[in-house]
Amino acid sequence: MADSRPKKAKICLCIFLCLLVGGIIAVVVGVRMWRHSSEHMKWNGTGSTARFQEIVLERCYKYTQSVQPELRDRDCQKIREAFRNAFISKDPCSATEEDYHPLMKLVNQMVPCDKTVFWSKTKELAHQYTKVQRDMFTLEDTLMGYIADDLNWCGDAGSYEMNYQSCPHWKKDCSNNFVSVFWDLVSKRFAENACGVVQVVLNGSISNAFDRNSDSCSGSSINDLRQIIRQRNIKFTCQDNYSSGKFLQCVKKPGDSSCR
d(CA 206, CA 188): 24
* Chain center to CA of 37: 24
Strands 116-120 and 45-46: unpaired
Catalytic member of 12, 14, 18, 195: 195
* Chain center to CA of 235: 31
d(CA 101, CA 1): 77
Catalytic member of 113, 167, 174, 250: 113
Contact 161, 87 (CB under 8 A): no
113 carries an active-site annotation: yes
d(CA 66, CA 53): 20
Residues marked as catalytic:
113, 195
